[in-house]
Amino acid sequence: MINTTPFIRRADMIRCVLCDNAPCDSACGVLNPSGLLRSIWFGNEQVAALRLPKINPCESCEAPCERACLRAGEVPIKGMIRNLYNGVMPNVETEAPEDESRLRCDMCGTPLENPFLLSSSVVASNYDMCARAFEAGWAGACFKTICTLDIHEASPRFSALYSDGGSIMGFKNIEQLSDHGVAENMAVFRRLKAEYPKKFIMASIMGQDEAEWRTLAHLCQENGADAVELNFSCPNMAEGGMGSDIGQVPELVERLTAAAKSDCSIPVLAKLTPNVANMSPAAEAALRGGADGIAAINTIKSVLGVNVNTYVSAPAVHGNSAVGGYSGNAVKPIALRFISELAQNSKLKGMHLSGMGGVETWQDALEFILLGAGTVQVTTAVMQYGYRIIEDLKAGLNLYLAEKGFANVGEAIGLGLDSVSHTTDVLERDTVIFPHFNREHCIGCGRCTISCSDGGHQALRLNEARRPVMDGRSCVGCHLCVLVCPQNAITPSRKRISRSKPVST
Distance CA 405, CA 428 (A): 32
Q: State yes or no: is 442 an active-site residue.
A: no
Is residue 361 exposed (0-12), middle (13-18) or buried (19+ Cβ within 10 Å)? buried
| Range list of β-strands (E), 303-394 | 304-306, 313-314, 324-327, 352-356, 375-378
CB atoms within 10 A of CB 216: 27
Buried b / exposed e over 325-353, threshold 16 CB at 10 Å, is bbbbbbbbeebbbbbbbbbbbeebeebbb
Amino acid at 144: K
Phi-psi region of 265 (alpha: psi -120 to 50; beta: other; left: phi over 0): alpha
Distance CA 393, CA 314 (A): 31
DSSP 357: S
Annotated catalytic residue, options 16, 24, 105, 234: 234
Identify the bridge partners of residue 313 per DSSP, sorted by sequence position. Answer: 306
Is residue 354 exposed (0-12), middle (13-18) or buried (19+ Cβ within 10 Å)? buried
CA nearest to 174, candidates 195, 188, 191, 160: 160
| CB distance 267 to 108 below 8 Å | yes
Q: Give me the active site residues, please.
A: 234
